[in-house]
Structure 1
Amino acid sequence: MTKIGDASEVTIRTGRPEDAEAMHRAILAMGRGLGMETKITSTEEDFRRSGFGPEAAFGTFVAEVDGELVGLCLYFPIFSTWRGRPGVFVQDLYVDQRLRGQGVGERLLRAAASWSKARGGDYLRLSVDVENLGAQRFYERLGISWQKGDHEHAAYGDAFRALAEGLTD
Structure 2
Amino acid sequence: MTIGANALDVVIRAGRPQDAEAMHRAILEMGRGLGMEAKVTSSAEDFRRCGFGPEAAFGSFVAEARGELVGLCLFFPIFSTWRGRPGVFIQDLYIDERLRGQGIGERLLREAASWSKARGGDYLRLAVDAENFAAQRFYERLGITWQKADHEHAAYGDAFRALADGLI
TM tier, smaller: over 0.9
Unaligned runs of 5+ residues in structure 1 are: none
Please state if 1:88 is matched with 2:92: no
Counterpart in the other structure of 1:12: 12
Query: C-alpha separation between the residues in 2 aligned to 1:13 and 1:120?
Result: 21
Counterpart in the other structure of 2:140: 140
Counterpart in the other structure of 1:74: 74
Q: What residue identity is the alignment partner of 2:139? A: Y
Counterpart in the other structure of 2:166: 166
Please state if 1:124 is matched with 2:124: yes
Tell me the secondary structure at the aligned position of residue 129 of structure 1. coil
* 2:12–2:63 contact (8 Å) kept in structure 1: yes
Counterpart in the other structure of 1:41: 41
Please show how residues 23-62 of structure 1 align to structure 2 within 5 Å: 23-62=23-62
Query: C-alpha separation between the residues in 2 aligned to 1:65 and 1:103?
Result: 14
Query: C-alpha separation between the residues in 2 aligned to 1:26 and 1:111?
Result: 19
Q: Deviations over 1:127-154 (max 9, x none)?
A: 0000000000000000000000000000
Tell me the secondary structure at the aligned position of residue 42 of structure 2. coil
Q: What residue identity is the alignment partner of 1:146? A: W
Q: Normalising to structure 1: TM-score of the pair?
A: 0.97
Unaligned runs of 5+ residues in structure 2 are: none
In the TM superposition, residue 4 of structure 1 has moved relative to its aligned partner by 2.6
Tell me the secondary structure at the aligned position of residue 102 of structure 1. coil
In the TM superposition, residue 2 of structure 1 has moved relative to its aligned partner by 2.2
In the TM superposition, residue 3 of structure 1 has moved relative to its aligned partner by 3.0
In the TM superposition, residue 6 of structure 1 has moved relative to its aligned partner by 1.2
Q: What residue identity is the alignment partner of 2:78? A: I
- How many residues align structurally? 167
Root-mean-square deviation over aligned CA pairs: 0.8
Please state if 1:2 is matched with 2:13: no
Query: C-alpha separation between the residues in 2 aligned to 1:34 and 1:131?
Result: 9
Q: Percent identity at matched positions?
A: 81
Counterpart in the other structure of 1:152: 152
The runs of at least 4 aligned residues of structure 1 exceeding 3 Å deviation read none
* 1:4–1:98 contact (8 Å) kept in structure 2: no
Tell me the secondary structure at the aligned position of residue 145 of structure 1. coil
Query: C-alpha separation between the residues in 1 aligned to 2:115 and 2:132?
Result: 26
